[in-house]
């Protein structure tokens, strides 16, 4: 029922206004920031930063990101199955309900074991 | 009458409880987050038998208010080479995601900002996983090496453990058969069991994953003070910093609420179907009255007049709430009795959420921090396969119960045993594998030295 989502929409707008309004209102009250150029350097424990921080970083994070997409999509496919599982059991479709997902999980498992052996899951 | 006005009035008449809850959540949750921080400091102090904050207000009770005022009027500095707009936007995003996901959580059978949405739990999980975007943007906008490393770590950690949390939730949803938050709790009433007992491994994996998802110790690597200053919030100060802080505490409440709803019976009292345990319904009244009596007892012993005054005030408010519970009991004939389910449900729900959050704090002060690659190994090598095996185990237990009419507890016992066996196997594999990997790493270090 779409009508039930309208309070939720209003709620999220209300939530969004809370930090924005507080930030803007208290900007007028609090003191402005003053200080020399040294104060507005990035804080890196007293050492002046030599380079911009937005440089290269480990490609491991990229692999983790890709793996996340695979497994999260997997979770999304599991949700409807989990919701319907007891309905199917009540209709005596247990063999169907189990095998349906076990094939899916089996395919995932093969991929997972391969990743494990390749060392894609190691960050060190 | 103006038709637009009329339709707005009709809308408010239908949804006034939800709208009231929405306003209450936005107003009260920041306050609760502040007080959670106070409780955390008190618990932190109590573990080595100290006192914690005692100066502001009687036993430190006004500390969160003082902190909030200080943070609101504190100077707010932005580094010169930061991206100003994204720097401004990131904490707002984080806190919005955390608070919005609270909209679908039902704090008792009456109090929910979005009643009857049938994807309740999916909404909570989905919206709260927008939080990492705020964190990674904040780290990137600061243009500070510590911030960006913290943001990367945080994202990697959050997305890894989100998968585990998702699988753990699936094991609970198998039992509940619905995503509607109210229906999940009612399913636990009709099943005569909280799902923590039917999916114990699922609850344990969810607990671990939820600690990692909220960046709490022992998984607080994104803001590890001894390594990264403050991680992604190094450059943040004043109210922006407190927005991140609020997001963290709101996230704690959200994950605790989801865990409570799905595994700990939501707003049901312990043993909701056992009639001779009906006296448990008196627990809210008695507990609050006991708190009030304790405050009265301690009030005379406070050294300062103000302290004893506040103790009296706390005692008085506990007695008032306790009286509300009495008037809302089914034996009274006041109109408040109509609120019985809502009030008593909210009490049990909040009690369980508090217990869950207390476990978070306890673990923070009891365990040392993980190293980052240990954390990722725990997530990807052990928890994800374990949570998957557990999904299969719970499904098989349900099938054994319905197809072969096994006893439900017997089936759960055997499948849990099998799941734990699988966990042992995973641990042994992991040990063997990491020993081999360490050998390999050693040889590659030698090669590097040779090459360099």
Residue A58 tokens read as 């480990």
Q: How big is the A-B interface in CB pairs under 8 Å?
A: 227
Report pLDDT for B9.
82
Please name the residue ranges forming H helices in B337-383: 340-366, 372-377
pLDDT in tens, B278-314: 777 777 788 888 888 888 887 777 777 777 787 888 8
pLDDT in tens, B176-230: 888 888 888 888 888 888 888 888 899 999 999 999 888 887 887 777 667 777 7
HSE (side-chain half, CA atoms, 13 Å) at A47: 8
Question: Which 3 state secondary structure label does DSSP give B80?
Answer: coil
Q: Report CA-CA distances (Å) from B46 to A96, B50, B432.
A: 54, 5, 40
Look at B31-35, B373-377, B380-384, B432-436 and tell me which has the smallest mean pLDDT: B432-436
Query: How many C-beta atoms lie closer than 10 Å to residue A100's C-beta?
Result: 15
CA distance B449 to B452: 5
Work out the pLDDT band at B450, boundaries 50, 70, 90.
very low
Reduced DSSP (H G I as helix, E B as strand, rest coil) percent helix, strand, coil of chain A, to 5: 70, 0, 30
CA distance B34 to B102: 17
Residue B78 tokens read as 């932005």
Query: How many C-beta atoms lie closer than 10 Å to residue B70's C-beta?
Result: 11
Mean pLDDT of B8-19: 77
Contact yes or no for B248/B393 (Cβ under 8 A): no
pLDDT in tens, B240-268: 888 888 888 999 999 999 999 999 888 88
Can you give the residue ranges of every domain in chain A? 60-118
Query: Which residues 17-56 of B have a C-beta within 8 angstroms of A?
Result: 18-19, 22-23, 25-26, 30
Its pTM stands at 0.87
Q: How close, in Å, is residue B130 to chain A by CA atoms?
A: 13
Query: Which residues 86-125 of B have a C-beta within 8 angstroms of A?
Result: 88, 91-92, 95-96, 99-100, 103-104, 113-117, 122-123
Nearest CB among A8, A27, A44 relative to B117 is that of A8
Mean pLDDT of A20-41: 79
Backbone angles phi, psi at A123, to 5 degrees: -100, -15
Contact yes or no for A26/B72 (Cβ under 8 A): yes
Collect all residues with Cβ–Cβ distance below 8 Å to A95 and sequence separation of at least 6.
none
């Amino acid at each position: 029922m779409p009508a039930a989502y309208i309070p939720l929409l209003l709620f999220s707008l209300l939530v969004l206004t809370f930090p924005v309004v507080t930030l803007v209102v208290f900007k007028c009250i609090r003191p402005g920031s003053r200080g020399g150029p040294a104060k507005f350097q990035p804080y890196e424990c007293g050492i002046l930063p030599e380079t911009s921080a937005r440089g290269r970083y480990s490609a491991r994070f990229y692999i983790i990101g890709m793996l996340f997409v695979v497994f999260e999509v997997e979770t999304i496919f599991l949700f409807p199955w989990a919701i319907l599982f007891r309905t199917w059991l009540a209709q005596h479709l247990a063999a169907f309900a189990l095998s349906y997902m076990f094939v899916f999980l089996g395919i995932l498992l093969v991929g997972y074991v391969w990743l494990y052996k390749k060392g894609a899951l190691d960050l060190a | 009458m103006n038709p637009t006005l009329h339709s707005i009035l009709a809308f408010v008449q239908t949804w006034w409880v939800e709208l009231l809850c929405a306003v209450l959540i936005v107003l009260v949750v920041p306050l609760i987050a502040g007080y959670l921080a106070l409780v955390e400091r008190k618990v932190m102090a109590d573990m080595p038998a100290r006192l914690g904050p005692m100066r502001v207000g009687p036993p430190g009770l006004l500390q969160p208010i003082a902190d909030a005022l200080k943070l609101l009027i504190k100077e707010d500095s932005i580094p010169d080479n930061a991206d100003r707009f994204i720097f401004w936007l990131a904490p707002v995003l984080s806190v919005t995601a955390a608070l919005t996901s609270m909209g679908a959580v039902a704090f008792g059978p009456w109090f929910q900002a979005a009643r009857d949405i049938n994807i309740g739990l999916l909404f909570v999980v989905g919206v709260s996983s927008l939080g990492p975007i705020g964190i990674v943007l904040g780290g990137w906008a600061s243009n500070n090496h510590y911030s960006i490393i913290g943001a990367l770590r945080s994202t990697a950690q959050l997305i890894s453990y989100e998968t585990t949390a998702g699988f753990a939730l699936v094991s609970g949803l198998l039992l509940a058969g619905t995503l509607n938050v109210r229906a999940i709790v009612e399913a636990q009433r009709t099943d005569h069991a909280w799902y923590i007992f039917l999916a114990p491994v699922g609850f344990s994996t969810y607990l671990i994953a939820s600690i990692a998802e909220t960046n709490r110790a022992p998984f607080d690597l994104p803001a590890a003070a001894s390594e990264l200053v403050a991680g992604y919030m190094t450059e943040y100060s004043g109210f922006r910093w407190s927005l991140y802080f609020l997001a963290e505490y709101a996230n704690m409440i959200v994950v605790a609420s989801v865990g409570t709803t799905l595994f700990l019976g939501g707003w049901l009292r312990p043993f909701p179907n056992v009639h001779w345990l009906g006296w448990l319904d008196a627990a809210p009244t008695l507990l609050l009255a006991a708190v009030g009596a304790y405050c009265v007892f301690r009030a005379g012993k406070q050294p300062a007049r103000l302290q004893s005054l506040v103790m009296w005030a706390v005692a008085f408010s506990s007695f008032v709430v306790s009286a509300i519970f009495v008037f809302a009991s089914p034996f009274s004939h006041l109109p408040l009795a109509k609120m019985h389910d809502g009030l008593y449900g909210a009490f049990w729900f909040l009690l369980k959420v508090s217990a869950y959050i207390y476990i978070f704090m306890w673990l923070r002060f009891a365990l040392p921090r993980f190293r980052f690659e240990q954390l990722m190994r725990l997530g990807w090598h052990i928890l994800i396969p374990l949570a998957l095996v557990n999904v299969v185990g719970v499904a098989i237990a349900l099938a054994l119960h319905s197809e072969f009419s096994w006893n439900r507890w017997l089936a759960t016992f055997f499948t849990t045993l099998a799941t734990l066996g699988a966990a042992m196997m995973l641990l042994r594999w992991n040990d063997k594998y990491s020993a081999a990997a360490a050998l390999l790493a050693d040889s590659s270090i030698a090669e590097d030295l040779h090459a360099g």
